[in-house]
A and B are shown apart, each in its own frame.
Chain A
């Protein structure tokens, strides 16, 4: 979703930097800890309490742990709920102070851009300091690296609500329940669930969603777009509570990882999902699949070389005892592209035939390849052939860890133990004939339970069935 409005920063850069320097000095004097990356816990859910008007309707559904902000903390305390964390990042004193006085039992996640008066008012409350990066990326990162070395920097977005999601991510959460995140005025004209110290914002902007016209402001409209984009692009799961523009757009977007509280079936489905970040190149321009991203890794020499392999390999059919099909050109291209990205040192292939795929995988790695029926491909300095030998025979003979398996033959039960022995958390698995009930699907089903941290990737849709290459790709953190 396009960010609709260009807005200016709340305070000028020199004032912002002065406040950050002051906060760092204050934190150092008090021995305040910095925000640190916590291990990911896929099972835990963080409730985020923003201060939009729908919080009035949904606060009773909040479950701890809770990260609140702005006036939402006071709102909840008045109703007997003590949030776990409270976050602030407003550099203007009159706004930062609205979330105070300190509430006992709450840990304050304070951005260094907050004004000195805010930090003084925190007194001896538990505080975790963090740094927010705004529009001037390189400059900001450079400044933080010099003044508070080796500390995290959070790019949150337009509002503290969006930033709370990022803070939650650093705290190890991937599941979120979001309250009071509306992006629009309520029907009674309210912009917040209670009193707020900010300047009134005119409700002159309208935005239609699900056939309803919502009233919003420039700042809120930007945050609406950013919220939808955040859930489009981030590996997180979110359930939005209440009625508002964001909730309506989330339903309209029908993302696999976000829904609203009343979408009970989808919510139940999402509860069974987990999010993984695959170790793969970024998908170009947010379109297509990971295969398209791999293809961008080809070098200028690759396509001509792969064409040349046809002339090299096809004549070998004359030597075949069992003359069958070879991988199509599209699959050769994908094999080469995947190899370019992961740069495996050791490759194991089941199904040599005339060597088309072995040559595509041959980019300097050691390629082990076997064929139960044929002896068409001569061995080279980098390709070690196992003619007339089973996959089990070849795998048993390999003594070094395998970084990439390409399976174009049916795995045998004994192979699984050998693959367990040879594989490692970052091993890539590629499967030919990954369609219907063909051998690729059978092989993938055999291996997927043994690689719970890998993600299954279906064949490239852009190639419209001309390649049936599927994959199990490793997680980024593996």
Chain B
């Protein structure tokens, strides 16, 4: 398995900092798993990554989907506001799926009906072994009118491609693999956390300084 994340630095460095914390966490939890920075042609490599895959400067969402589409093999593709807390390589023990998505069934964070209908899967955590799946997502996304290509459009495109039935899709429980921690009910044993809600920025900042400020020596 390879862990990949997409982030570019243009003006605001917060995502770069969160990416650095994500990498440091991954290196601690999964020291033998390579972490790859997917980015544009200018952004400096995030410290700790094994490799950088670059694409030309351009619209971020499109570049992210292109980067995903260029992957081959077993990839865990995550947002930079994700925290990998446990070894999740066993997901790939199942040879049947092309992509494993995570549902939004979060009892402590009920989702609006329209979100569940149009974007039933949160793409902040995706297990992928099919670049072709992402090429299809990219094609669907590119067919959207300019005005519909907002940040959520990627999730709508993923849902559309899943619905076609052309790919083998496994649905994983979001409570385990894409868990948005709540203030009082943190499910500490969830494998992957995904920071959301009003405390998101504070959590992410605290995570960054905690993880990066007290690094653990990891053999490469």
A residues touching B (Cβ–Cβ < 8 Å)?
288, 292, 295, 300-304, 306-308, 310-311, 313-315, 328-330, 333, 462-463, 466
Stretch from B7-15, B64-72, B87-95, B135-143 contacting the other chain: B7-15
Residue of A whose beta carbon sits closest to that of B205: A328
Residue of B whose beta carbon sits closest to that of A292: B11
Given A304-B47, A328-B205; A315-B11 close (CB under 8 Å)? no
Q: B14 to A466, Cβ gap below 8 A? A: yes
Q: A329 to B14, Cβ gap below 8 A? A: yes
The CA-CA distance from A329 to B213 in the complex, in Å, is 12
B17 contacts chain A at the CB level, 8 A cutoff: yes
B46 contacts chain A at the CB level, 8 A cutoff: yes
* 8 pairs of residues in contact across A and B, judged by CB atoms under 8 Å: A288-B11, A292-B11, A301-B44, A303-B13, A307-B20, A307-B212, A315-B213, A466-B14
B residues touching A (Cβ–Cβ < 8 Å)?
9, 11-14, 16-17, 20, 44-47, 201, 205, 208-209, 212-215
The CA-CA distance from A349 to B91 in the complex, in Å, is 51
Q: A330 to B12, Cβ gap below 8 A? A: yes
Q: B208 to A329, Cβ gap below 8 A? A: yes
Residue of A whose beta carbon sits closest to that of B23: A307
User: Could you list 16 further interchain pairs (A-B, Cβ under 8 angstroms) beyond the known A311-B214, A330-B12?
Assistant: A288-B11, A292-B11, A300-B44, A303-B16, A307-B16, A307-B20, A307-B46, A307-B47, A310-B208, A310-B212, A314-B212, A314-B214, A329-B14, A329-B17, A330-B14, A333-B13
Q: A304 to B46, Cβ gap below 8 A? A: yes
Given A304-B44, A304-B45; A310-B213 close (CB under 8 Å)? yes
Closest beta carbon of chain B to A319's beta carbon, Å: 14
Listed from nearest, the 9 A-B pairs whose CB atoms lie closest are: A314-B213, A310-B212, A307-B20, A329-B17, A333-B13, A300-B44, A304-B47, A303-B44, A311-B215
Q: Cβ of A463: which chain B residues have Cβ within 8 Å of it?
A: 12, 14
The CA-CA distance from A317 to B155 in the complex, in Å, is 42
Closest beta carbon of chain A to B37's beta carbon, Å: 11
The CA-CA distance from A314 to B11 in the complex, in Å, is 25
Closest beta carbon of chain B to A331's beta carbon, Å: 10
Residue of B whose beta carbon sits closest to that of A314: B213
Closest beta carbon of chain B to A459's beta carbon, Å: 13
The CA-CA distance from A319 to B2 in the complex, in Å, is 39
Residue of A whose beta carbon sits closest to that of B210: A314
Closest beta carbon of chain B to A301's beta carbon, Å: 7
Q: Cβ of B14: which chain A residues have Cβ within 8 Å of it?
A: 329-330, 463, 466
Given A310-B208, A462-B12; A315-B20 close (CB under 8 Å)? no
Q: Which of A306, A311, A315, A330 counts the most chain B CB atoms within 10 A?
A: A311
The CA-CA distance from A133 to B208 in the complex, in Å, is 54
Residue of B whose beta carbon sits closest to that of A328: B205
Q: Cβ of B208: which chain A residues have Cβ within 8 Å of it?
A: 310, 329
The CA-CA distance from A267 to B11 in the complex, in Å, is 36
Q: A307 to B11, Cβ gap below 8 A? A: no
Residue of A whose beta carbon sits closest to that of B213: A314
Q: Cβ of A330: which chain B residues have Cβ within 8 Å of it?
A: 12-14
Q: B209 to A314, Cβ gap below 8 A? A: yes
Closest beta carbon of chain A to B128's beta carbon, Å: 27
Closest beta carbon of chain B to A242's beta carbon, Å: 41
